[in-house]
Amino acid sequence: MVDLDGDLPSAGEPVVLFGTGRHGEPTAQDWAEAVGTINYEITTALLPRIPRGHHRDGEPLNSQDAALLGTGAEGVPEAAR
């Protein structure tokens, strides 16, 4: 559960729980340090519970582009591979 401190998103509105940190969002490492674990535990615990969406520069990727994330495709940040 995430406490949004009264700032509730509308149904269907995307939210960011963690990211790269480049835009001020918390990272998986930030969450891990807050709860006393490792970042891998943060990311893998969410996978079965939340639908995933792949984005690049704020734009959603189509399924073909998203499939490239696992290939080491040029332009995909190392952390996203």
Domain range list for the chain: 28-80
Q: How far apart are CA 37 and CA 49, in angstroms?
A: 19
Q: What is the pLDDT of residues 17-36, one digit of tens each?
A: 888 999 899 999 999 999 99
- DSSP, res 61: P
Q: What is the pLDDT of residues 5-18, one digit of tens each?
A: 777 888 888 888 88
Parallel, antiparallel or unpaired: strands 55-56 and 59-60: antiparallel
Average pLDDT of the chain is 76
> Does the reported pTM lie above 0.75?
no
pLDDT of amino acid 75: 45
